[in-house]
A and B are shown apart, each in its own frame.
Chain A
Amino acid sequence: MEQIFTAMGAKYNYVAYIILMMVGLYAMIVKSNLVKKIIGMSIFQTSIILFYVSTAYKTGKTIPIVPYDAHAAVQAADFINPLPHVLMLTAIVVSVATLGVALALAMKIYRQYGTLEEDDIHEDLRSEEGKS
């Protein structure tokens, strides 16, 4: 146990990402409201992005915009790793697109069943099956 705490002290970003991922997963599994589930999905996505950005960080180094003079040789060790930033930049924009589609689906479900709670929708479905 002691070992885990000392090992995690140097990796507190990874601890934060694990906690956020657990929060998002809990919301997606347990909460019955659809908008809550969608917010949980967004939290899950942001936790993954936090993980990627954390791997790119180098202590005491500067942002990945290299100096303008082209003649000086660029030392890559002086800059933060830009590759995960690029991957996550597109992931954020795709996440807002999926958020829009998910909210549209939730609104469609509300229009059909008059509720956003998953339990009530299941009851509605069951009673419809019983009738037919």
Chain B
Amino acid sequence: MKITGLLTVIICGALLTYYAMDFPDFGDGRSPANTYLSPHFLENTMHDAHVPNSVTTILADYRGYDTMYETTVVLTAGLACFFLLRRKESTSPPARFFRHVPTGLTLRIEEGGKLPAENSKVFTRIDSLWAPDSLIIRNTCRLIIAFVQLFALYVVAHGHYSPGGGFQGGVLLGSSIILFSISNDLRRTLKRFREKTAAVLGAIGVLIYSGTGFVCLLMGAHFLNYEALSPLLGLKTGDPMARSHGIFSVEIGVAFAVMSVMIWIYYNLSSAGKHDEGL
């Protein structure tokens, strides 16, 4: 097996090297990939949509269908993780651990023992592979998470003018929740951002994207042709700002979908589908 695999890989690499010799040189401005379509996009992005960052324009406007179905793919991946891993029946662990808050003692309660009340102020449940309750990590993460979310909103909103956009901002928002879940524990995170919320928000994100396109259809233009939105926004017909706002609404949808799907996949992967004890 090893020899066969190595031989396949070497033959593949040799063929690729042979054909790579015919490629245009690295950094050549007149290569075919750089000449046909992209100059048109670059020269018209300010005129058409009033968005300096041409990557955002192409992503959400010129190639809007592509991005819409990519968002659907991401949502489908979240659903696939859910259906593969989620276990509804509660397989209770052999022993549970509780911390007595006033004294800091740790209690180990065997299966069948008397458990404290669910919302008890005196006892808090901790994971069996527990990390000690580190004040430094918890408070630093509490400080950082707010700034991460603020930066994520900046990235989503400022994607027209600088690198960024819905995908990056969504992943940043998701990773802030993941950071909370790592620094505290999974159950506390699930109380603040439930799995159902994640699923619904992901669907809402895709709905915002396709709904924007559908509104354009209702206004009498093609699907995802944001110029038709200008009467709704109180702009003159043909104003490029209509396209800019359309792109912004689409980016918000992408951010919702990506954020919730990242969190959803993390919930299912980190607890092996049980939502009982996390990472």
Contacts and interface: CB of A to CB of B under 8 A. Distances in A.
Direct contact of A and B (CB under 8 A): yes
Contact of A65 (B6, B8, B53, B66): B53
Q: Which 6 A-B pairs have the closest CB atoms?
A: A97-B77, A76-B39, A59-B27, A29-B5, A30-B5, A58-B29
B33 A93 contact: no
A77 B67 CA distance: 26
Interface string A18-61: 11011001100110000000000000000000000011111111
Contacts of B39: 76-77
Nearest to B1: A30
A29 B9 contact: yes
A26 B85 contact: no
B52 A67 contact: yes
B70 interface: yes
Nearest to B69: A90
Given A64-B42, A70-B46, A82-B41, A93 B167 contact: yes
Which of B27, B45, B167 has its CB near the most chain A CB atoms (within 10 A)? Answer: B27
Given A14-B26, A18-B17, A83-B58, 7 more contacts: A19-B13, A26-B9, A66-B45, A82-B54, A89-B59, A100-B269, A104-B81
Contact of A14 (B2, B23, B161, B171): B23
Nearest to A32: B1
Contacts of A21: 12-13, 16
Interface residues of B, number: 65
Given A14-B20, A18-B16, A97-B77, A76 B42 contact: yes
Contact of A86 (B5, B55, B78, B85): B55
A101 B39 CA distance: 37
Nearest to B39: A76
A84 B40 CA distance: 14
B21 A29 contact: no
Given A86-B63, A104-B81, A94 B70 contact: yes
B261 A65 contact: no
A107 B34 CA distance: 43
Nearest to A58: B29
Contacts, number: 171
30 contacts: A7-B21, A8-B21, A11-B26, A14-B23, A15-B17, A21-B12, A21-B13, A22-B12, A25-B9, A29-B4, A30-B2, A64-B53, A68-B52, A81-B34, A86-B63, A89-B59, A89-B167, A90-B59, A90-B167, A92-B167, A93-B258, A94-B73, A96-B262, A98-B77, A100-B265, A101-B77, A101-B81, A104-B265, A104-B268, A108-B84
Interface residues of A, number: 60
Interface string B155-177: 00000011100010001000000
Contacts of A100: 77-78, 81, 265, 269
Interface in B43-96: 43, 45-47, 50, 52-55, 58-59, 63, 66-67, 70, 73-74, 76-78, 80-81, 84-85
B272 A4 contact: no
B31 to A, nearest CB: 7
Contacts of B74: 93-94, 97
Contacts of B54: 64-66, 79, 82
B258 A84 contact: no
A125 interface: no
Interface in A87-116: 87, 89-90, 92-94, 96-98, 100-101, 103-105, 107-108, 111
Given A83-B41, A104-B269, A57 B27 contact: yes
